[in-house]
């Protein structure tokens, strides 16, 4: 049974927009007075609404002016945690540094203690609440990292929570193992901890089918470059896709990401022209995390430079209890855009198909034939209103796999 949905004043299709480099707004590929025919969970046709009327079995009429675009994709979050880090945030506002709080045993370690102490059900409830809020705001695919367990039992618990929640959350959850977030107190030697993860945890993740992706926080205060590279190479050889927390405070992570062919290098607030060049020449997606810049009161990722050099740029929330508690993709993308001087096409590509590329997915993020019917509609007649409202304007209709949710 095919269904025609429309009419839409404008459809931002992004149908053939390039995966890399700077974009002018003509690259939004806007279709005026358009409609979309879907069949099951896929898009069949996108064309003039009046022309499509005779082509579908059923018509779902949209009342009032609307702008349609692909469902949003958040390619970097840490949505499973216990407790809160409100105290950290309060300290940071009065000048304490994120790295110092971590060195003194707070920060990520605080979330580890609280996450280890939380039950499966508590963690699942938190994940579902956050994922459902995201879906309501138009985010139809959400990457979710582990990383507050730091031992076999708790990292597996977190990844099981994500796997189990997939059944109850309508948004797609894509899990990533970030057991290499920081070195837990039980280990004195960082290399020893990474070798332990490599031999004890990674094979179990494959056996239990818990995730296909591995991440690491490359930073002197977390894992220095040399030992990080050895671990990531081992993960790659086991068949995992790679992603890296790179160049947040010091450079180094992006080089490893590019050398190992990682899907993405995320953060990049400290990247210099050298790292920008490296990323631009690669197929590794550069992921800006404006929520972390806002949560830490630090500079943004050099998004303009990355795009001008030819990189693929995605934008993501980094939603986490410490550096990124806000978790609002549209607000953060529009703020990054006004500071970094990005076009609407660059911003919207960064939270749709370019974010899909960061996850190794090519079946979503565009409104085009054959794509999954993940779509969102805003109650406006002009696409420029979306970012003008700085994220406060939310979609009033969200379709996931062709179903209105
Ligand atoms: O992406 N930088 C490392 N990890 C997370 C923050 C985790 C936390 O502060 O709890 C990030 O910002
Ligand atoms: Fe992160």
* pLDDT on residue 253: 98
- What are phi and psi for residue 346, nearest 5 degrees? -65, -40
Name the residue of 108, 223, 296 whose CB sits within 8 Å of the most ligand 1 atoms, as the mutation to test its pocket.
108
Domain ranges of the chain: 2-69+366-404, 73-358
Residue environment code for 329-366, b if the CB has 16+ CB neighbours within 10 A, otherwise e: bbbbbbbbbeebebbbbbbbbbbbbbbbbbbebeebbb
Q: Two tokens at 68?
A: 């349609």
Using most ligand atoms within 8 A of CB, pick from 82, 114, 176, 181 the residue to mutate for ligand 1: 181
pLDDT tens digits, residue range 295-309? 999 999 999 999 999
Please indicate whether residue 354, judged by its CB atom, sits closer than 6 Å to ligand 1: no
Q: Is the pLDDT of residue 198 over 90?
A: yes
Kindly state if the Cβ of 317 falls inside 6 Å of ligand 1.
no
Instruction: Measure 78 CA to ligand 2 centroid, in angstroms.
Output: 6
Q: Which CATH code is given to the segment(s) 73-358? A: 3.20.20.140
| C-beta of 295 in contact with ligand 1 (< 6 A) | no
Confidence of residue 370 (pLDDT cuts 50, 70, 90): very high
159 vs 213: CA distance, rounded Å: 11
The reported pLDDT for the residue numbered 332 is 99
pTM above 0.85, yes or no: yes
pLDDT at 105 (0 to 100): 87
Calpha distance 262→280 (Å, rounded): 13
CATH topology agreement for domains 2-69+366-404 and 73-358: no
CATH architecture of 2-69+366-404: Roll (2.30)
Q: Count Cα atoms within 13 angstroms, Cβ side, for 58.
A: 7
| Average pLDDT of every residue of the chain | 98
| Predicted confidence (pLDDT) at residue 377 exceeds the cutoff of 90 | yes
Ligand 1 binding pocket includes 111 (Cβ within 6 Å): yes
- How far apart, in whole angstroms, are the C-alpha atoms of residue 33 and residue 126? 40
Ligand 1 lined by 316 (C-beta under 6 Å)? no
Ligand nearest, relative to CA of residue 181: 1
Q: What is the pLDDT of residues 208-239, one digit of tens each?
A: 999 999 999 999 999 999 999 999 999 999 99
Task: Write the pLDDT tens digit of every residue in 49-72.
Answer: 999 999 999 999 999 999 999 999
pLDDT for 392: 98
What are the tens digits of pLDDT across the range 98-153? 989 998 889 999 999 999 999 999 999 999 999 999 999 999 999 999 999 999 99
How many angstroms separate the first and last alpha carbons of the chain?
Answer: 19
CB 168 within 8 A of CB 128: yes
DSSP structure class, residue 383: T
Rounded to the nearest angstrom, the distance between the alpha carbon of 289 and the centre of ligand 2 is: 8
Ligand 1 pocket residue status of 101, Cβ below 6 Å: no
Q: Is 321 in the pocket of ligand 1 (CB under 6 A)?
A: yes
User: What does the pLDDT look like over 6-36, one tens digit per residue?
Assistant: 999 999 999 999 999 999 999 999 999 999 9
């Amino acid at each position: 049974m095919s269904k025609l949905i429309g009419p839409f004043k404008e459809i931002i299709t992004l149908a053939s927009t390039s995966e890399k480099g700077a974009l002018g707004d003509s690259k939004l590929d806007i279709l005026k007075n358009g409609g979309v025919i879907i069949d099951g969970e896929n898009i069949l046709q996108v064309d003039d609404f009046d022309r499509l009327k005779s082509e579908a079995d059923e018509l779902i009429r949209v009342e009032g002016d609307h702008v349609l675009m692909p469902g949003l994709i958040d390619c970097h979050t840490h949505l499973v945690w216990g407790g809160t880090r409100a105290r950290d945030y309060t300290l940071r506002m009065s000048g304490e540094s994120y790295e110092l709080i971590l060195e003194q045993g707070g920060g990520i370690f605080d979330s580890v203690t609280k996450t280890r102490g939380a039950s499966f059900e508590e963690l699942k409830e938190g994940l579902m609440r956050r994922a459902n809020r995201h879906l309501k705001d138009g985010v139809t695919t959400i990457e979710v990292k582990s990383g507050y367990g730091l031992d076999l039992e708790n990292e597996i618990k977190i990844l099981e929570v994500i796997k189990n929640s997939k059944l109850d959350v309508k948004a797609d959850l894509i899990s990533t193992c970030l057991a290499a977030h920081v070195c837990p107190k039980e280990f004195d030697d960082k290399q020893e901890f990474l070798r332990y993860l490599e031999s004890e945890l990674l094979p179990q993740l494959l056996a239990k089918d818990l995730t296909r992706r591995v991440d690491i926080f490359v930073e002197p205060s977390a894992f220095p470059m040399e030992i990080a590279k050895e671990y990531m190479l081992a993960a790659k050889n086991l068949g995992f896709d790679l992603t890296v927390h790179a160049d947040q405070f010091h450079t180094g992570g992006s080089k490893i990401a590019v050398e190992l062919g990682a899907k993405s290098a995320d953060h990049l607030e400290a990247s210099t022209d050298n790292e920008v060049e490296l990323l631009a020449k690669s197929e590794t997606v550069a992921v800006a995390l404006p929520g972390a810049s806002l949560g830490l009161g630090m500079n943004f990722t050099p998004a303009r430079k990355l795009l001008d050099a030819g990189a693929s740029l995605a934008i993501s929330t980094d939603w986490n209890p410490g550096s990124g508690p806000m978790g609002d993709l549209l607000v953060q993308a529009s703020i990054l855009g006004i500071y970094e001087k990005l076009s609407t096409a660059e911003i919207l590509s960064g939270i749709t198909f370019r974010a899909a590329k960061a996850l190794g997915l090519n079946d979503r993020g565009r409104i085009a034939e054959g794509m999954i019917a993940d779509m969102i509609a805003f109650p406006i007649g002009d696409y420029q209103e979306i970012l003008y409202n700085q994220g406060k304007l939310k979609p009033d209709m969200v379709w996931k796999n062709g179903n209105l949710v």
